[in-house]
Amino acid sequence: MCGICGVVEKKGDNRQLVRTMCDMLAHRGPDRAAVYQSGDICLGHRRLSIIDLTTGDQPIFNSDKSLAIVYNGEIYNYRELRDELGRRGVTFQTHSDTEVILKLFELDGPDSFARLNGIFALAILDERRERRLVLARDHFGIKPLHYFQKDGLFLFASEYKAILLHPAVKRQLNPQALHHQVNLRYNQTNETLIKDIHRLPPAHFAIIKDGVMRKIERYYQLAPHIDHGKSAAAWLEEIRFHLSQAVRRQLVADVPIGVYLSGGIDSGAIVAMMRQAGVADINTFTLGFNEPTDEIEDAQLTAARYETNHHALRLDLHPMRRMPEVIWHAEEPKVNLLQGYAMSEFVSQHVKVALGGLGGDELFSGYDIHKFILPFNRLHRLVPEWLESAVAAQLSELLYRLQTRLSPMRFDEYRRGLQMILATGNVQKFYLILRNVWDYDRSHLERIYCPDFLQNDIAPVANEFDALFAGGREMTPLEQVYLAEFGSKMVNDYLLVEDRMSMSHSLEERVPFLDLDLVTLGFSIPAEKKMVGGETKGLLRQALAPYLPAPIVKKKKWGFTFNPYLQFQKDLKTTAERILTRKRIQEDGIFRYDYIRAILDAKPHPRLRWHYNYLWLLTGFYIWKAMFIDTPAMPDKSTPVESFYG
């Protein structure tokens, strides 16, 4: 795992700038740094040595140096591809997966990217015809890649803090991205919170020439083909085979590997498949939050069954003191950063690579929201959309006005439940209300934002989900939701957090459930087979029952996250009150202070968890803003949280 960056600019030598950009990314690759310039293109690389420790340094070139590559990631099928290339007459100078990517590109061009089963963000300098830069990002967006272009200048980097080092990049807030961040708790656009800095979408490549992006194109499209013909027994056998294959593939490394072990079945399955693959010495790691739902004891059950070298950590009671550090690494405010940051810090003291269970819930129906949607599968098809838009939508708006005027905040949850039911017939709206998107209540924007901020003509969050729900009635509502979750929250929330928090401590995290073949399998299983008897992960539980302790197979899911209600009573409220002051909020002119104050003054209640998440996001936003917008120099990640008070 590594960090990459680069500049395309006609005016002279950019090697010193790229060295500085590499320094900004040093946490992603502490082992080595390299810079290479040819003509107007300069590439930078920071290396975290995982495969081919002696000859795998980058850039790597082809035989006549007409191609050069820097890349971040791991290709799990590189040995098979290397054997194939050998049969095609290709010779190699290293044992690295990086050279395999380059030689495959040399023969097949951008068509080669779809064949890479792994995690990657890459840049290839191609001088065979005309000098051009080719960028690509992996199929599911596991590795990040940002870019900026203006007036013949093109910059790219794994993290945009490196892009900000160029004097041409102005630090301006992107209001649309902020609206997504506040509303969804992640940003679904291909923009960032910094205006004019974009993210290359997953499964896309781009061609840059003379500092201008000439082409951006999708090389892979996840297209579910639901197979209704297989028996449950056949599905169970296929799940076990593909999960075992995925874990075996991702064990490739020349350094020790560990496992993030929660008390659930996904990470437990990885441990089981590692043992089945013959791994004798398995390191497992678990994190607790000092909360009733901690999974440390549950994780110990799996660790004991497989006799792993198990390590457990409990967070202290005041984790928000580390908010500046985590926001510096994440480059955006989020509510689920602190636990990943602490976990990667802990794990990195023992191993350089960790496998995690992310993706299992998306593939095998593991979230509670799936249980809410399942009963409406048939109803969505029976209720015409015109009825929802003509009648139910008007009732929903009336319901919002009545509830916000007549009842306390804690009743918001019941009101949203009724609005969700009124959205029956419109799967996209039903799902987004369930995810707490409040764009459908347009008057709520006036409670959240100041009038001047609303002049920015903020587009609804729902617009970014139109393409994700384009499958329409050819898929069941729940199958549409699976696909939408996979292309939205997983990429721009969970995977972003996994990458930034693991790489903050130079730890490579791998996600076996996002193996290409396993994903294809997961999206071919009918929804009614995945949720046996309405139970989340019903089919996966059956598949893994022979491998895991019975209490783990049967237990209810609890996410790897803080309880916002409990955190509010620890240090969220005190931190928010010190940072979200009336003076700061009113002078900034983005958010309405009276709404913030109402949440702070309300009697604490578990049903206010979405409101506490809102406070958490705003607290993080003002730390982020002080770091990335309000200062002309790059921020210091070690700045104590107290310095943001007042």
d(CA 430, CA 469): 12
pLDDT of residue 90: 93
d(CA 23, CA 618): 30
d(CA 136, CA 23): 23
pLDDT of residue 382: 65
d(CA 418, CA 420): 5
Q: For residues 228 and 526, is the Cβ–Cβ distance under 8 A?
A: yes
Lowest mean pLDDT among 266-270, 372-376, 378-382, 514-518: 378-382
pLDDT of residue 363: 95
pLDDT of residue 122: 98
Q: Which of 508, 487, 484 is nearest to 498 (CA)?
A: 508
Residue 290 has pLDDT above 80, yes or no: no
Mean pLDDT confidence for 142-163: 97
Write the DSSP string, 304-318.
HHTT-EEEEEE--S-
pLDDT of residue 254: 74
Most confident of 203-212, 226-235, 379-388: 203-212
Mean pLDDT confidence for 374-384: 72
Question: Residues 327, 312, 76, 360: what is their CA dihedral angle, to the nearest 10 degrees?
Answer: -80
Query: Could you tell me which residue, 401 or 513, shows the higher pLDDT?
Result: 513
pLDDT of residue 402: 67
Q: Which of 126, 67, 172, 567 is nearest to 336 (CA)?
A: 567
For 232-367+487-554, CATH number?
3.40.50.620
Count CA atoms within 13 Å of residue 422 on its CB side: 20
Q: Which of 113, 227, 190, 215 is nearest to 467 (CA)?
A: 190
Report the 10 Å Cβ neighbour count for 286.
27
pLDDT of residue 535: 85
d(CA 556, CA 354): 24
25-80 residue pLDDT tens: 999 998 888 999 999 999 999 987 766 656 667 899 999 999 999 999 999 999 99
Which are the contacts of 39, defined by CB distance < 8 A and separation ≥ 6? 127, 131
Residue 437 has pLDDT above 70, yes or no: yes
Q: Which of 337, 343, 341 is nearest to 314 (CA)?
A: 343
pLDDT of residue 480: 92
Tokens representing 370 are 């799936």
pLDDT of residue 190: 96
Q: How confident is the model at residue 528 (pLDDT cuts 50, 70, 90)?
A: confident
Integer angstrom CA distances of residue 366 from 230, 389, 408, 482: 21, 30, 32, 10
Q: For residues 306 and 282, is the Cβ–Cβ distance under 8 A?
A: yes
pLDDT of residue 296: 84
pLDDT of residue 393: 67
Domain boundaries, the chain: 2-185+195-218, 232-367+487-554, 375-477, 566-644
Residue 321 has pLDDT above 80, yes or no: yes
Report the 10 Å Cβ neighbour count for 508.
25
d(CA 19, CA 46): 10
> Cα(first)–Cα(last) distance of the chain, in Å?
39
Query: Could you tell me which residue, 525 or 417, shows the higher pLDDT?
Result: 525
Integer angstrom CA distances of residue 334 from 184, 339, 527, 614, 619: 10, 11, 30, 10, 10
Residue 247 has pLDDT above 60, yes or no: yes
Sheet holding 257-260, edge to edge: 309-314, 283-288, 257-260, 353-355, 508-510
- DSSP 3-state assignment of 582? helix
pLDDT of residue 385: 67
Residue 37: phi, psi to the nearest 5? -125, 135
Q: For residues 199 and 191, is the Cβ–Cβ distance under 8 A?
A: yes
Query: Could you tell me which residue, 106 or 423, shows the higher pLDDT?
Result: 106
pLDDT of residue 635: 64
Q: Which helix (H) or strand (E) holds 73?
A: strand 67-75
Please check whether the two domains, 2-185+195-218 and 232-367+487-554, share a CATH topology: no
pLDDT of residue 496: 96
412-429 residue pLDDT tens: 877 887 877 788 888 898
d(CA 61, CA 289): 47
Q: For residues 379 and 529, is the Cβ–Cβ distance under 8 A?
A: no
Which are the contacts of 398, defined by CB distance < 8 A and separation ≥ 6? none
Query: Could you tell me which residue, 125 or 402, shows the higher pLDDT?
Result: 125
Q: How confident is the model at residue 292 (pLDDT cuts 50, 70, 90)?
A: low
pLDDT above 90 coverage of the chain, percent? 66
Q: For residues 418 and 452, is the Cβ–Cβ distance under 8 A?
A: no
Q: Would strands 146-150 and 197-199 be described as parallel, antiparallel, or unpaired?
A: antiparallel
Integer angstrom CA distances of residue 527 from 29, 32, 383, 420, 489: 41, 47, 20, 21, 19
pLDDT of residue 119: 96
Q: How confident is the model at residue 406 (pLDDT cuts 50, 70, 90)?
A: low
Count CA atoms within 13 Å of residue 497 on its CB side: 22
d(CA 323, CA 574): 14
Report the 10 Å Cβ neighbour count for 461.
22
Lowest mean pLDDT among 173-187, 304-318, 597-611: 304-318
What's the mean pLDDT when you consider all of the chain?
A: 90
Residue 386 has pLDDT above 60, yes or no: no
The strand pairing partners of 510, in sequence order, are: 355
Q: Would strands 353-355 and 508-510 be described as parallel, antiparallel, or unpaired?
A: parallel
Integer angstrom CA distances of residue 124 from 82, 105, 127, 134, 439: 19, 9, 10, 5, 41
Q: State pTM to two decimals.
A: 0.93
Residue 23 has pLDDT above 80, yes or no: yes
Q: For residues 404 and 433, is the Cβ–Cβ distance under 8 A?
A: no
Architecture per CATH, 2-185+195-218:
4-Layer Sandwich (3.60)
598-636 residue pLDDT tens: 999 999 999 898 999 999 999 999 999 999 999 877 667
Q: For residues 494 and 141, is the Cβ–Cβ distance under 8 A?
A: no
Which are the contacts of 326, defined by CB distance < 8 A and separation ≥ 6? 337, 338, 341, 501, 504
Residue pointed to by tokens 């510096």: 328
